[in-house]
Amino acid sequence: MSTDLESRVRELLECYDGPEACAAELLCDRHPADRVAFTVVEADLRATDLTYGELRERSARFAAALAGLGVGRGDRVATLMGKSADLIVALLGIWRRGAVHVPLFTAFAPPAIAFRLAASRAALVVADTDQAAKLAPSDDIPADAPWRLIVAGGPEEVGPGTLRFADLLDAYAADDPRAAAVSVGGDGLLVQLFTSGTTGTPKGVPIPVRALASFHAYQEFALDVRPDDVYWNAADPGWAYGLYYAILSPLASGTRSLMLHAGFSAPLTWQVLERFGVTNFAAAPTVYRALRADDTARPSGFALRRASSAGEPLTPEVVAWSARNLGVAVRDHYGQTEHGMVVCNAWHDEIGTDAPLGSMGRQLPGWTCAVLAEDADREAAPGELGRVAIDTEHSPLLWFLGYLDAPERTAQRYTADGRWYLTGDAGSRDADGFFHFSARDDDVIIMAGYRIGPFEVESVLVLHEQVAEAAVVGLPDELRGEVLEAFVVLRNGSAGSAELAAELQQLVKEKFAAHAYPRQVHFVTSLPKTPSGKVQRFVLRQQGGAR
């Protein structure tokens, strides 16, 4: 890492990690009042600019309203809201009050919502009008719930005991003494976010104010967002990547960004890219795959300078497609809810380089990462499959505090000496320092003594022109211990056949390894995924075992 980048990391830590650190000041008040924070885009492409001055005034009103409702420093306030101006106002009001935000993804059903509200001990929930019904008393939501409900948007009447977001803003003044921004310090909590819980119950991740240094650094170093960029991170703020880098990092840096107040569709995404002249785009791999599948709607009049992806590894055919059709090859980035992004195929001029195909890049400034051997807490040899880990002693941007009320689960994340944080992912690092993702630790397949990462096999399967998506899992086998089975989604509703299954098996033998072909190929209409788009391989293992 260059001296300039080391110095920049120190500057960011000094900014966000002081004892007087105040989220409202850092995310809003220090920026010029007339500067645009977000351009909110509607489904019909109408757009409204939202300035920092407007955000300061409206969030101060909401902070005063929260104080009037008894919310104080450290209290949890949840949001069940889509991407909108009201969401940004609510978040800044929560942080201005010194309270802690609990994100709830709008695709959640009542059981998932109830779990997170109970686990976080939320005092209030702010929900969009079309989401409020999920909080009505039911088998999952108690009639005497300990939280109060605030409904945002829409003209509909609200029930007894429910408050309206707009009415609260009207009832309080921005200069109310209770609207004064509360400093909680760098160690004070900003967000209580829950992991997706693909295996077991979701884990609560407390996110302190000083994590903003890491989020800001990623935006600069990996995404390379510049003042003249039109930046759009299309990820949903109900999950880490969207919250960290579609909301928090732009607010921290004072960067104008787009926010689409509409559900995802490939044609609409193409239209937004063209109409608003997006130059720096970030999204989950599922978005790029959807654009690839519907590129007949691709306009000719747009020019991306940067394109980035995170959430799951990018398969080679998406990278090749993006170079041809987006004007730039999308780059893969790696991180987790517990620490944000740490290993990236970065865009910054000082560290940017074309990573080998299939690599997620190198460690970012402020982080020291390694691959540990499977059988010992030592660094693995180049190319050796092992455990992806973060050096806690030499990663100044590391901010993870441990899981909420779960000391045992926290302890499992570290080596015995506390030196290494274990991500739970398997991978390798080559002699040039490039990391290669293989799988979650519990997704690695061991067949006849060979360790096989499902991603390598999946990357080959999707090369076939009829395959839209593929997932590979290991299932028990008396002779080999485990064997590979593939679950394949075909394009355009095509029907699978024994002949196509044989073609796919042969493709893996030719393009990856003769021993690593799937012994069975199951043709399915869709793959089970978390709300953030990650394939739930444990569900596929259950389905395969039941056949």
pLDDT tens track for 428-468: 999 999 999 887 766 767 676 555 768 778 888 998 999 99
The predicted pLDDT at position 318 comes to 87
Residue 163: what pLDDT?
A: 93
What is the b/e burial string over 294-327, where b = at least 16 CB atoms within 10 angstroms of the residue's CB? eeeebeeebebbbbbbbbbbbbebbbebbeeebe
* CA–CA separation, 63 and 59 (whole Å): 6
Q: Where are the domains of the chain?
A: 51-202, 444-545
Q: Are strands 450-452 and 445-447 parallel, antiparallel or unpaired?
A: antiparallel
Instruction: State the CATH class of domain 444-545.
Output: alpha beta
For strand 231-233 and strand 280-283, is the pairing parallel, antiparallel, or unpaired? parallel
What is the phi-psi region of residue 58: left when phi exceeds 0, alpha when psi lies from -120 to 50, beta otherwise? alpha
**DSSP conformation class of 186:** T
Diameter of the chain by CA atoms? 74
- Residue pair 475/482 in contact by the 8 Å Cβ criterion: yes
- 382 residue type, one letter: P
Task: Please write the tens of the pLDDT for every residue from 4-29.
Answer: 999 999 999 999 999 999 999 999 99
What parts of the chain have a pLDDT lower than 50? 197-199
Q: Which of 400, 318, 287, 309 is nearest to 361 (CA)?
A: 309
Q: Which amino acid is at 38?
A: F
Per CATH, domain 51-202 is 3.90.1150.10: no
Counting Cα atoms < 13 Å in the Cβ hemisphere of 292 gives: 24
Distance between CA atoms of residues 168 and 150, nearest Å: 9
Alpha helices of 254-365 — where are they, by DSSP H? 266-275, 285-293, 316-325
- Specify the residue for token string 């559900």: 263
**Residue 222, pLDDT score:** 97
* Amino acid sitting at position 507: L
